[in-house]
Amino acid sequence: MARFVFPLQPLLDARRRKEEEKQRAFASAKAARDENVRDLGRLAGALRIGGRALHECAMTGSTASLRLYDAHLRYLERTLQSREQSGAESAPAFDRTASELYAANRERRLIEKLKERRLQEFEREEARRDERELDEANARSPERGAKRRVEGSG
């Protein structure tokens, strides 16, 4: 029985490697985005807590403490705005890596589908070949039996 050989296997392997590379790039971009989201949440929470503390300090605290809270809140606001801006700037990169991963996946699946079809075609051809061989063997078998009977009677 013949062995199936897919002539485009090197291309399929290259497409798989490309898809894995795109998966790593996407995972990296997603991790950066998720980290930025966590940082934004943490900064927003710190800003809320600091705002409450500033309000309490304004009611009971000294002017020095008030200035300190105010400076800290301004720092948190600047950091929050900076993180929001970097998140907005990195969003297109994240979208690009996602679309590249999708395209690489589609290219790989296309070649795999072709391989699957070629394998099915190969298996059908092998089944036809086996069937022909059996038919030929069966066709020769009665002839031999008939020749033996003729030779034996003669």
Please, are residues 122 and 47 in contact by the beta-carbon 8 Å criterion?
no
CATH number (domain holding residue 100) = 1.10.287
Please, are residues 40 and 83 in contact by the beta-carbon 8 Å criterion?
yes
- Please give the Cα distance from 95 to 1 (Å, whole number): 49
Give the chain's radius of gyration (CA, Å): 37
Full domain range(s) for residue 43: 9-153
Q: Name the token pair of 93.
A: 């990169």
Does pTM surpass 0.85?
Answer: no
Domain total of the chain: 1
**pLDDT for the residue 107:** 96
Cβ atoms within 10 Å, residue 80? 17
pLDDT tens for the chain, 154 residues: list them. 689 999 999 999 999 999 999 999 999 999 999 999 999 999 999 889 888 888 888 888 788 888 888 898 899 899 999 999 988 988 999 999 999 999 999 999 999 999 999 999 999 999 999 999 998 888 887 665 555 555 666 5
Instruction: Decide if 112 is inside a domain.
Output: yes
SS3 23: helix
Instruction: Decide if 2 is inside a domain.
Output: no
**pLDDT for the residue 58:** 83
